[in-house]
Structure 1
Amino acid sequence: MADGRPQPDCLFCKIVAGEIPATVVRETETTVAFKDINPQAPVHDLVVPRAHYRNAVELAANAPELAAALLVEAAAVAEAEGVADGGYRVVFNTDAHAGQTVFHVHAHVLGGDFLSTFGS
């Protein structure tokens, strides 16, 4: 069972710890939000919990209150980035076939323009 402890080889754990620089958008006691280094929209930020969980399913199963906090913070990031009124997308990729490349749960907050529909 996952316990949320930082993992020494995890890129996002290192960003949370300040060992690797990132352009931080917002921080809370439980989350850190920063700019994606390969943006797919005019606004593309990642919101990660400070605790390490592999993916959204593992997070929800082991720390549902933190999963809720992550979604609340995604909305706050959208507001801070000025995309909340026009609309934005929150995406969780779960494992490699879905495109997850860093195995520390993270919410992608995308907005700032009309986003394509899925499958386009």
Structure 2
Amino acid sequence: MSETLFSKIIDRSIPAEIVYEDEHILGFNDINPQAPVHVLFIPKIAIATHNDIKPEHDQVIAQLHHAINIYAKEIGEDENGYRIVMNCNANGQQTVFHIHMHFLAGRQMLWPPG
């Protein structure tokens, strides 16, 4: 897979405001936030789109969700509620081809999202 903006954040060749990190997952503030709290959670391994998730990725996908749970609790949004979103390809508005989950919190989320 080719180098992406996110792979450059992982290797620290470009800066990001990192709010969560463990061995497998990185979380950083979105540069164009759509909620008071808008964090992107990414695996440290490259998976281009949701369509590219294979059975061998099961553990890292579980770790992605676990990291979000930890972070939500750390910032006190676990009880208030939050939204997590993963976009896939052009119609899904995916712009960086390294899977990532948007964690949105800090306000009432509306439905439908648009």
The two structures have a TM-score, normalised by structure 1, of 0.87
What do you get for the CA RMSD once the two structures are aligned?
Answer: 1.5
Picking from 93, 101, 105, the partner of 2:95 is: 101
Aligned length: 114
Moved more, 81-90 or 54-63: 54-63
Deviation, 1:41, is 0.5
Deviation, 1:116, is: 1.1
User: Unaligned stretches of 5+ in structure 2?
Assistant: none
Corresponding residue of 1:68: 62
**Aligned match of 2:10 in 12, 16, 20?**
16
Determine the structure 1 residue equivalent to 2:106.
112
The Cα offsets for residues 5-64 of structure 1, whole Å up to 9 and x where unpaired, read as xx5531000001111100000100001000000000011000000000012332344411
Question: How big is the shift at 1:119?
Answer: 4.5
Q: How does 1:47-58 map to 2 (within 5 A)?
A: 47-58=41-52
Query: Which amino acid in the other structure matches residue 21 of structure 1?
Result: P
CA distance, structure 2, for counterparts of residue 77 and residue 60 of structure 1: 25
Aligned mates of 1:69, 1:12 — CA distance in 2: 18
Aligned to 1:29: 23
CA contact (8 A) 1:56 1:67 kept: no
- Distance in 1 (CA, whole Å) between partners of 2:2 and 2:91 is 24
The answer on whether the counterparts of 1:23 and 1:34 sit within 8 Å (CA) in structure 2 is yes
Quote the sequence identity (%): 36
Distance 1:70 1:119 in 2: 22
- Please give the alpha-carbon distance, in whole angstroms, between the structure 1 residues aligned to 2:55 and 2:89: 16
Task: Return the letter of the residue paired with 2:76.
Answer: G
Instruction: Give 5+ residue unaligned stretches, structure 1.
Output: 1-6
